[in-house]
Structure 1
Amino acid sequence: MKRAPLLARILLPLAVIAIAVGGAGYLQATRPLVQPEPVIEQIFAVRTAPVSFSRHQPRLELFGELVAAREAVLQSPVEGRVIEMSPALVEGGAVRRDEVLLRLDPFDHETRKRELQASLVQQEARLVELELTAAADRDLLALNDERLAIARRELDRQQKLRSSSFSSTKNLDDSRMKVTAEETTRRQREREIAAAAARIDQQKAAIDQLRLSLGRVERDIAETVVRAPFDGLVERVDVALGKELRAYDQLATLIDAGSIEIHFTLDDADFGRLWQDGLVGRTIDATWTLGDQAFALEGRVSRIGSRVQASRGGVGVFAEITGNPHSAPLRPGAFLTIGMDDRAYENVAMLPRSALFDPARVYGVVDSRLVGFDVEIVDRGATDVLVRGELAEGLPVVTTRLAEIASGLKVEMVP
């Protein structure tokens, strides 16, 4: 009777364990199966541009201005009071060559001219007087020579008579004194003639100086009338009727209307490229915008600036204006937008700048996947880039900017 409870105490835990193991096995056998989700590859939507190799000549878009190749600062050539002014001598006035711009009072200069003329007459009369005196001295010298010759002959005769004892010593001495006196007079006359010649030279120099002064005064009188040196436009006027001017006072600035040209700057890269391709003689188009009006201009590069413009980072270029179809009122300082053909490139592809990834790589779409291609950048524009490389004609090149782009990505091309 006591053995039954002991057996029950032994078998009961075993039964519990067996039930637990059996339950766990049943649950394991009857659990639902969980299928793993398949990995789906991401597809990127991209826009593309086809590769097309051909000849391309980019268009440079530049900025410039109108400048005057020739302008003159008009100055008062002489001093005087302004007594007359041209109506065109105002800011913005247009004048013609040799047009009278202003007149100065010539009174002081004409007075000086009359004084010099009177002095000249006086000095010329003095010259005549000196020349007459010199001529008289030369005549007297000739008479001295005759008297000296006579005195010498008389001395010879007295010497011969004295040797024959037919003349006294006194007569011989008198003859000698006569010769000495005539020789002394002759030397004195020669000195007077030489001095007269020097005075004549001095007088001629004084007359020449007076004539030069008279010529300057006559020029000053002529310059009391100020004329325009060329056709032009007037600016910076600093003169008025009645104003007292000194010599070299500034009157105004005259701009040669026919010398207005176009000036713009090429950066170092553009200049170096275009210089090799022939810069001088290249045509340009310019536009001068005034409000809602746009005036088109045509030009041709005529010369290069004499120095590099460090402040502008390039080289100055000048172009003559060859066409002004709308007869625009050209003025220096007008701001222009300028277009000029760049160098032409053969067998290059033009792509949007967004197709270029650093450093010089583009991605084409081959079988819906990206393939990277290294390219040579020939030219960069504002929105486009010219490239060369191992690209197939017609290959679609990605133009969409992707945050992480690499070869092998799967893409879908969209319009």
Structure 2
Amino acid sequence: MRFLRRSLGGLFLFALTLALLAHAGRMLWSAVETRMNAEPRSFAQQERVAGVRGLTIAPGRTRPELVVFGELLSSRTVALRAAVGGTVQDVAETMVEGGAVTAGELLLQIDPADAESALARARVDLEDALSEGREAERALELARDELAAAEAQAVLREQALTRQRGLQDRGIGTAPELEAAELSASTAAQAVLTRRQAIAQAETRIDQAATRRARAEIAVAEAERDLANTRITAPFDGQLTEVAIGPGSRVAANEQLAVLVDPDALEVAFRVSATQYARLLNEEGRIAGAPVRVRLDVDGLPLTGAGRVVREAAVVAQGQTGRLIYAALDRAPGLRPGDFVTVIVTEPPLDEVATIPAAALGADGTVLAIGPEDRLESVAVEQLRTQGDAVLIAAADLAGREIVARRTPLLGAGIKVRRLDDTPADPGADPDAAPEMIAPEMIALDPARRARLVAFVEASDRMPAEARARLIEQLGAEEVPAEIVDRLEGRMGG
């Protein structure tokens, strides 16, 4: 009985479960059928509007700048060499690496004993030559006197011969007497010829004495020059480098002792490509006179200088390309030969161009202009130059139009945009563009302010010694870049 009751209860529960499942399936089928047969609902479509920064194109006259790298050189550099050999006797205190010297300053003294002895011998030889010349002149005077006497005697002998011939014609004289007179006249004539030959020899002796004296004078001049060359002096104001000599050293003729460099006569050598060189040419086809600025960052403090292009290399070196150009610097405080600097060359001006951020130019050479109804249009432009994070374009056809200052992959032709409030009105105000390198503003410092700045630099242990020395030298000038003063005073305040 219990078994039957439990069986009927289980059968009831099973039937109830099947009924519930069937009801749930029917409800699900009804919902799906209703959804499939229902009319589709429509939602209002809204066009996507992108926010952009606008930039108004204003064509004008611009002078592009070419940025390259170059090395500073000194236009006045000379190797000091020993003209004569010998032992180094004295060396100036400034004859050290980096020593500052003035024009005419004695740098080195080679032992002059040998040169003085050679000069003394040359002077003795000169005195001997002068004595020989005086003796030759006296001998010539005596020879002339002897010639005069011989000529007088020959005249007398000729007169005696004439008388003897007269006597012989009158029959008074004898033949032996006539022969004797003729022989005497002949002997007198021979004596005259001998004296003339003596005069010629005396004149030749005088010429030889003059030649000997000239050689002796040349020897004396050479000896004096060798003696003077034992003193090595500075040909101009500058600083010494590559000093390789000291007291007691033995030097040979033409041996290099040091190199004298004028640190104020600076020029920068830099290489440009053939294309860049062509852009730098003026209307006359020359590059000389183009303005140049140089810049060297030392621990965040810039050292700057300015000048102009003076010349270019005559030929292209083997294995090189482009052109090697030299520019003379008018003023470059703190810079030294050998520095590797950034060179900014101002190119000839371009008309009807505009400066835009590089991000505004697409890879296909187009920009996105904001057209009617604030929709973008793709406009092809001609790129003329690259200036850091900005580019120069030919903007005659875009004058007054507004373009997108920064393109993104989501922007394209036909997309509607809205202008952002922080859109820069000038491409130069683009916050992402690199600041333009301009000539630094110079200010004059009073003694107290200069002393504080110098003391702060000397006490700085984070700055290299060479950079510290250059900065101190720059602070010692009459005018100092205002940027450097502001940075130093900012650090002092911190």
| Bin for the TM-score computed over the shorter chain | 0.7 to 0.9
Q: Which residue of 2 aligns with 1:396?
A: 403
Q: Which residue of 1 aligns with 2:298?
A: 290
Task: Write the letter of the residue equivalent to 2:310.
Answer: R
**What do the CA deviations read for 1:153-173 (whole angstroms, capped 9, x no partner)?**
111111121111111111111
2:149 pairs with 1:147: no
Mark the CA change 1:103 to 1:398 in structure 2 (over 3 Å): closer, same or farther: closer
2:323 pairs with 1:318: no
SS at match of 2:217: helix
Q: Distance in 2 between matches of 1:52 and 1:98?
A: 62
Q: Which residue of 2 aligns with 1:335?
A: 340
Q: Distance in 1 between matches of 2:364 and 2:183?
A: 122
Which one has a larger percent strand, Structure 1 or Structure 2?
1
Q: Which residue of 2 aligns with 1:101?
A: 107
Mark the CA change 1:288 to 1:377 in structure 2 (over 3 Å): closer, same or farther: closer
Q: Distance in 2 between matches of 1:269 and 1:39?
A: 57
State the TM-score, normalizing by the size of structure 2.
0.69
Q: Distance in 1 between matches of 2:67 and 2:38?
A: 70
Q: Distance in 1 between matches of 2:79 and 2:401?
A: 63
Name which of 269, 273, 279 aligns with 2:275: 269
Q: Which residue of 2 aligns with 1:92?
A: 98
Stretches of structure 1 lacking an aligned partner (at least 5 in a row): 1-30
SS at match of 2:398: coil
Q: Distance in 2 between matches of 1:357 and 1:413?
A: 20
Q: Which residue of 2 aligns with 1:300?
A: 307
Q: Distance in 2 between matches of 1:265 and 1:39?
A: 64
**What do the CA deviations read for 1:5-30 (whole angstroms, capped 9, x no partner)?**
xxxxxxxxxxxxxxxxxxxxxxxxxx
Aligned pairs for 1:148-297 within 5 A: 148-276=154-282, 280-297=288-305
Higher relative contact order (CA 8 A, sep 6+): 1
CA apart distance, 1:112: 1.7
Name which of 370, 381, 387 aligns with 2:376: 370
Task: Write the letter of the residue equivalent to 1:303.
Answer: V
Task: Write the letter of the residue equivalent to 1:395.
Answer: E
Q: Distance in 1 between matches of 2:301 and 2:378?
A: 48
CA apart distance, 1:413: 4.4
Task: Write the letter of the residue equivalent to 2:402.
Answer: L
CA apart distance, 1:94: 0.6
Task: Name the count of aligned residue pairs.
Answer: 380
Task: Write the letter of the residue equivalent to 2:294.
Answer: A
Q: Distance in 2 between matches of 1:359 and 1:268?
A: 25
Mark the CA change 1:64 to 1:78 in structure 2 (over 3 Å): closer, same or farther: same
CA apart distance, 1:100: 0.5
Q: Which residue of 2 aligns with 1:15?
A: none
Q: Which residue of 2 aligns with 1:65?
A: 71
SS at match of 1:276: coil
Task: Write the letter of the residue equivalent to 1:273.
Answer: R
Mark the CA change 1:192 to 1:337 in structure 2 (over 3 Å): closer, same or farther: same
Mark the CA change 1:406 to 1:394 in structure 2 (over 3 Å): closer, same or farther: closer
CA contact (8 A) 1:283 1:340 kept: yes
SS at match of 2:382: strand
Across the aligned residues of Structure 1 and Structure 2, the Cα RMSD in angstroms comes to 3.1
